[in-house]
Amino acid sequence: MPIMIPNNNLPPGTLRGVYASLLLGQVAIGAILYFLSSQSTTEQAPASVMTGLQTWQLVACALLLFAVLTAAYLRGRLVQSATRPDGQKVATTALVAWALMEGANLATVILAYRHNDTSLYLAFVVGLLAFVWLRPATWPLEAEA
């Protein structure tokens, strides 16, 4: 049960709706791009060229790591400020954390599609799990009606 925040100006259910739409959008985009990449007949580079981490893999992993660490920091700040009556600030912080995670996840899945890279699809799944970790049920986001 979420902690009650008396001065929250948002209607009940607003942030949960935003979170659900962001999560479903990421899953839908990831599924569509994965389906399209599995249907393509793009030739892979020779094995000698594909050794080691490629630049796009490093960029995607760095984006995801930055987003997860920043979102974890913001989540910790929200949990610490659970008793404060500033509901609007809590909601804004939650939206910033979600935007960070969604941006990194979408960049990862687009890079995975562009380069037809299965390891980046796995990184996208890890990013989705981190996004699920940021669900509103664990944060004091909304007062129940």
CA distance 82 to 4: 9
Q: What is the pLDDT of residues 43-100, one digit of tens each?
A: 555 554 555 567 777 877 888 888 888 877 777 766 666 555 555 566 667 777 788 8
Q: Let me know if residue 134 belongs to a domain.
A: yes
pLDDT of 113 > 50? The answer is: yes
Q: What is the pTM of this model?
A: 0.66
The count of structural domains within the chain is: 1
pLDDT of 126 > 80? The answer is: yes
Which pLDDT belongs to residue 33?
A: 85
Q: Let me know if residue 8 belongs to a domain.
A: no
What's the domain range around 69?
Answer: 14-35+55-138
CA distance 103 to 46: 31
Which pLDDT belongs to residue 145?
A: 38
Structure tokens at 88: 């609007």
pLDDT of 135 > 50? The answer is: yes
